Structure 1
Amino acid sequence: MTADTATTTRYRGERRWTPRNVLLVVVGLLVGALTVFPLVWMLSGAFKTVDEVNDPALIPASPTWENFTYVFTQVPFARYLLNSLLVAGAVTLIALWFHSMAAYALARLQFPGREKLFAAIFATLLVSLPVVMIPTFLVIRTLGLLDSYAGLIVPAIFNAFGIFLLRQFYISLPPELEEAALVDGASYWRIYRSIIVPLSRPILAALAVFFFLANWNAFVWPLTITSDPDLRVVQLGIALFQQQYASDWNYVLAASTVAALPTLLVFFFFQRQIVESIKSAGFK
């Protein structure tokens, strides 16, 4: 080992184990433990009996699947999952389609009022859901979309964050790609479909995860516009399930585990795209 290598190794070791870095590691471990503990408790409780859940001192027996069987046989939980999947999937696909087109127009096309339009869209990020819930409800009621899938899907399509993030990504793309395509006679629609969309796959995948999770976990809006039991989404179904089985936490935890599995799987399979989108777009 040379002197330079030994000095570098010693420097890295000293830098790694400084009191500040040790404190950061301890804080990170505590935050990680606090984050993982509710999930572990939910998973363990989903496979226990009601007595084992209510009495932590009781030695648990072998895991049981009866809780999941009860959830799917005594309540239409599969229907709730299907409704959430349909709504979240439809919103994600439609939102990505329209948001990408709007972001490309705001990033590349020149037309009067472009910057003002983008500023108005961006300003909607400052408006919270409770502020627009009543006007949106009145519009949906006027259109006759209460107690319908359209009423659950259409208001959730627009999201200023998606347009903003995609626009920033499109601005960072080299304009030479489009210029070469224009010289070859390609239209803006052909450029968007053949060049922009393929290059946008990482960030579109990340936005798909965000949109899907947000609509899968939607609760307030479905509660506001739906009263038909056949249109209940999974989060609303769990809330009603919890009211009915308030003392049987094992059933509630089993239902929550089933509802959480799709979100965990989506994040697990698309975590690389999320990281790549953050690096490529940079949130700048």
Structure 2
Amino acid sequence: MMRTTDETLTKPLESLPARVRHWSGGMGLHGVMTVLSLAMILPFAWMVLTSLKTLAEAADPAWLPHTAQWGNYPEVFRVIPFLRFAANSLVVAGWVTLLQVFTSALAAYSFARLDWPGRDRVFFIYLGTMMLPGLVMLIPNYEIMVKLGLVDSYLGLVLPAAFSAFGTFLLRQFMLGIPRALDEAAEIDGASKWQIFWTVIMPLSRPGLVTLAIFTLMGNYHSFFWPLVMMRTVDKYTLPVGLLFFDSEHGQATHLLMAAVTMSVVPLIVLFVLLQRQFIRGIQIGAVKG
């Protein structure tokens, strides 16, 4: 009897019902994810709450304002040309996104669907450029823009970001998963390589295109160092540089700065909420096909 009892008490966890083990493991995972989520949410919550404080309260470590100062938000528009800065960021990020998605799709199509000598070697060399930090390329890109006379211009901001090794890699993984029989069927029907790319491959790569577009738009909307180096005219500042300008001119107005930063992230939050299903689907498909 004692032996049976001991065996029962020392029975390993694997002998528990699968539902119980799944529940206990899920609770631990959810606990970790909750802590990590709070670590991400708390700074954002502090930013929003600070934007609703008065100037005196902004220096107070207390989280909650005594009275929500919603007037801080319209005050931002009076102090700096916020809409101008936001429009500059959206225009630059929009053009970079369009060009980068298109050039990455063309390069990915060549690396994934076309056969030419040295294709794989060129691809791995191109992929190797991802190892270079962005700051390493800052001075060479700036020198090129100076020689082209594109300093303090929107075109100078867009051109260096129009090509992406990461985007090419991401879309290549999608295109490798598309059956080649579709290319062959289109060729039998008399379609050219360009027609196959535009009418067959591009529509089937839509999840990857959307995923890359979201990554690119978010990254360039908040780009800081390159616009800071390139731009001289205040009216041409993008939003991150404009916020730095605001901080230098009104460094004590922390409550207004937080209001401006809060408004700067709203467009991206709305965009992600609208496209999150396609974004997640694109990541999942890319992971499976990779």
TM-score (norm 1): 0.91
Q: How does 1:256-267 map to 2 (within 5 A)?
A: 256-267=261-272
For these two proteins, the number of residue pairs brought into alignment is: 275
- Alignment counterpart, residue 166 of structure 2, candidates 161, 167, 173: 161
- Alignment counterpart, residue 22 of structure 2, candidates 12, 15, 18: 15
Equivalents in 2 of 1:90, 1:59: separation in Å?
Answer: 40
- Is 2:201 the counterpart of 1:196? yes
**Structure 1 stretches lacking a partner, 5+ long:** 1-8
Number of the residue aligned with 1:126:
131
Matched-pair identity in %: 37
Are the equivalent residues in 1 in contact too, given 2:53–2:69 (CA < 8 A)? Answer: yes
Per the TM alignment, residue 193 of structure 1 is displaced from its structure 2 partner at its CA by: 1.1
Equivalents in 2 of 1:259, 1:134: separation in Å?
Answer: 28
- Is 2:275 the counterpart of 1:270? yes
Q: How does 1:146-185 map to 2 (within 5 A)?
A: 146-185=151-190
- Alignment counterpart, residue 63 of structure 1, candidates 59, 68, 74: 68
Per the TM alignment, residue 270 of structure 1 is displaced from its structure 2 partner at its CA by: 1.5
Per the TM alignment, residue 17 of structure 1 is displaced from its structure 2 partner at its CA by: 1.7
Q: How does 1:44-59 map to 2 (within 5 A)?
A: 44-57=49-62
**Structure 2 stretches lacking a partner, 5+ long:** 1-15
Number of the residue aligned with 1:231:
236
- Alignment counterpart, residue 187 of structure 1, candidates 177, 192, 201: 192
TM-score (norm 2): 0.89
SS of 2:150's partner is coil
**Once the two structures are superposed, what CA deviation does each residue of 1:183-229 show, in whole Å capped at 9, x if it has no partner?**
11111111111111111111111110000011001000111111111
Equivalents in 1 of 2:112, 2:21: separation in Å?
Answer: 47
Equivalents in 1 of 2:165, 2:142: separation in Å?
Answer: 19
Per the TM alignment, residue 69 of structure 1 is displaced from its structure 2 partner at its CA by: 1.1
**Once the two structures are superposed, what CA deviation does each residue of 1:209-265 show, in whole Å capped at 9, x if it has no partner?**
000011001000111111111210000111121222222211011000111111111
Cα 1:31–1:58 change in 2 (3 A) is closer
Equivalents in 2 of 1:71, 1:81: separation in Å?
Answer: 13
Per the TM alignment, residue 49 of structure 1 is displaced from its structure 2 partner at its CA by: 1.7
Number of the residue aligned with 1:136:
141
**Once the two structures are superposed, what CA deviation does each residue of 1:3-45 show, in whole Å capped at 9, x if it has no partner?**
xxxxxx9431233225xx5443332211111110111111122
Are the equivalent residues in 2 in contact too, given 1:206–1:274 (CA < 8 A)? Answer: yes
Are the equivalent residues in 1 in contact too, given 2:85–2:238 (CA < 8 A)? Answer: yes
Equivalent residue letter for 1:66: G
- Alignment counterpart, residue 33 of structure 1, candidates 11, 33, 38: 38
Q: Which stretch shows the higher mean deviation, 168-177 or 57-66?
A: 57-66
- Is 2:126 the counterpart of 1:109? no
Equivalents in 1 of 2:135, 2:65: separation in Å?
Answer: 44
Number of the residue aligned with 2:11:
none
SS of 1:173's partner is coil
Are the equivalent residues in 1 in contact too, given 2:208–2:282 (CA < 8 A)? Answer: yes
Are the equivalent residues in 1 in contact too, given 2:227–2:241 (CA < 8 A)? Answer: yes
Number of the residue aligned with 2:8:
none
Equivalent residue letter for 1:248: A
Q: Which stretch shows the higher mean deviation, 184-193 or 53-62?
A: 53-62
- Alignment counterpart, residue 243 of structure 1, candidates 232, 240, 248: 248
Per the TM alignment, residue 57 of structure 1 is displaced from its structure 2 partner at its CA by: 4.5
Equivalent residue letter for 1:14: R
Cα 1:126–1:57 change in 2 (3 A) is closer
Are the equivalent residues in 2 in contact too, given 1:87–1:153 (CA < 8 A)? Answer: yes
Instruction: Extract structure 1 runs of 4+ deviating beyond 6 A.
Output: none
- Alignment counterpart, residue 76 of structure 1, candidates 81, 95, 107: 81
Are the equivalent residues in 2 in contact too, given 1:172–1:281 (CA < 8 A)? Answer: no
- For the aligned residues, what is the CA RMSD? 1.9
Equivalents in 2 of 1:50, 1:68: separation in Å?
Answer: 13
**Once the two structures are superposed, what CA deviation does each residue of 1:134-165 show, in whole Å capped at 9, x if it has no partner?**
11111110010000011010011111000011
Cα 1:196–1:228 change in 2 (3 A) is same
**Once the two structures are superposed, what CA deviation does each residue of 1:59-98 show, in whole Å capped at 9, x if it has no partner?**
7344332211111112111110010000000000111111
- Alignment counterpart, residue 220 of structure 2, candidates 212, 215, 224: 215
SS of 2:101's partner is helix
